[in-house]
Amino acid sequence: MPLRVRVPVLTRVTVSVTAVASVAVLLGGCSSTPAEQLQDWYSSGGEAQIRKLTEDAGRVNEVSMRTIDVQGPACQDLLARTAKAEKLDPIPDDATQRYWKEALGGFRRGAAECADGAAKNEAGQVSRGITTVQTEGLPKLVSTVTLLKAALAHK
């Protein structure tokens, strides 16, 4: 036999108003679409970090055939820029975030190895670090940008 409880009318009204307010807050908090969330990420620091990473990684690529005294600072700059980019909120798109994380990992590993090699004046280590930036970081950054542009174009 079901248990019946009498609820005074005033309590039912209060519960109903509270329930409606809760639903409104939940719906309001979820009103942004995935495209809008992606646009928010991009415009609140993502675009700037991508641009700066592209510049710094491009510089590492450009100095790859130069001397260690030029390569080391380029790698140190990329390493510092990567650390800043890693502090951004995740990209609100799983596939794009995966490429972004892989790009940052390639930049971090490569730039760290290069900078360490430059500090030791070890040309082979510098070269390996630069190669990592070129083969692991840059292609994944290109994929990240490609996915971002496609998603932002369809918003």
What is the rounded distance in angstroms from the CA atom of residue 59 to the CA atom of residue 75?
Answer: 9
pLDDT digits (tens, 9 = 90+) for 28-40: 445 588 889 999 9
| Global confidence as pTM | 0.78
| Residue 48 domain flag | yes
* Spatial contact of 99 and 125, defined as CB atoms under 8 Å apart: no
**Residue 135: CATH number of its domain:** 1.20.120
What is the per-residue pLDDT for 33?
A: 87
Axis-axis angle for helices 68-85, 94-119 (nearest 10): 150
Percent pLDDT > 90 in the chain is: 74
What is the per-residue pLDDT for 3?
A: 42
| Residue 21 domain flag | no
Number of folded domains that form the chain: 1
* Spatial contact of 72 and 120, defined as CB atoms under 8 Å apart: no
pLDDT digits (tens, 9 = 90+) for 126-144: 999 999 999 999 999 999 9
| Of 10 and 147, more confident | 147
